């Protein structure tokens, strides 16, 4: 006798998480959250990888040894509609115009349909490395998008 296959569900407790409900929190000075800059259209760069070095063993021609050396991270890329009067814009302006950096911790939180946290990614000592605004085009009625890219010291994935 075979057991029935349970139906697929989008219930956050037993089904797959959906990636369109999220918030981004910047912690100025490492502790105080910025309540204005939390809404973004897209977040990418949630990844880490282990760098390796290859060791060749003398007389062994069938394989090499690959040993871990360090953890590497992709830059955190945030995209949102063009915003005026944002503290985050001031930080990016200081970095790009004055070469002054104030690293902050950033947490990206995946939310359930009830807006409860399901998972999070903590980025420690994040600082701006790239800022771009989409092209201005009089023939295109598209939302103007800012792309902000941050480097950071370390990422910690949190499963809540």
- 40 inside domain: yes
- The secondary structure of 86-124 as a DSSP string is -HHHHHHHIIIII-----EEEEEEEE-TTS-EEEEEEEE
pLDDT of residue 146 exceeding 70, the answer is yes
- 3 inside domain: no
- 152 inside domain: yes
Q: Which of 101, 143, 146 is nearest to 126 (CA)?
A: 101
- 16 inside domain: no
- Residue range of the domain that includes 66: 22-159
- 147 inside domain: yes
- 1 inside domain: no
Residue 29's CATH number: 2.30.110.20
pTM for the model: 0.81
User: Which pLDDT band holds residue 144 (cuts at 50, 70, 90)?
Assistant: very high
- Whether residue 144 contacts residue 138, with contact meaning beta carbons closer than 8 Å, is answered with no
The number of C-alpha atoms within 13 Å of 35 and in the hemisphere containing its C-beta is 0
Give the total number of structural domains in the chain. 1
Query: What are 11-54's pLDDT values in tens digits?
Result: 555 567 788 999 999 987 656 677 788 889 999 999 999 999 99
- Whether residue 149 contacts residue 131, with contact meaning beta carbons closer than 8 Å, is answered with yes
What letter would DSSP give residue 5?
Answer: P
The 10 Å CB-count burial string (b at 16+, else e) for 50-72 is eeeeeeeeeeeeeeeeeeeeeee
- 17 inside domain: no
Query: What are 88-125's pLDDT values in tens digits?
Result: 999 999 999 999 999 999 999 999 888 889 999 999 99
- 97 inside domain: yes
């Amino acid at each position: 006798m075979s057991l029935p296959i349970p139906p697929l569900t989008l219930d956050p407790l037993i089904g797959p998480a959906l990636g369109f409900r999220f918030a981004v929190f910047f912690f100025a000075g490492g502790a105080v959250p910025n309540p204005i800059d939390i809404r973004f259209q897209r977040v990418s760069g949630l990844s880490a990888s282990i760098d390796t070095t290859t060791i060749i063993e003398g007389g062994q021609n069938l394989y090499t040894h690959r040993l871990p050396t360090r953890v590497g991270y992709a830059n955190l890329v945030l995209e949102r509609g063009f915003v005026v009067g944002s503290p985050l814009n001031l930080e990016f302006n200081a970095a790009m115009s004055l070469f002054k950096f104030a690293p902050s911790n950033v947490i990206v939180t995946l939310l359930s349909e009830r807006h409860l946290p399901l998972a999070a990614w903590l980025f420690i000592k994040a600082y701006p490395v790239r800022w771009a605004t989409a092209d201005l085009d009089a023939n295109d009625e598209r939302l103007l998008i800012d792309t902000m890219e941050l480097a950071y010291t370390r990422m910690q994935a949190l499963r809540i």
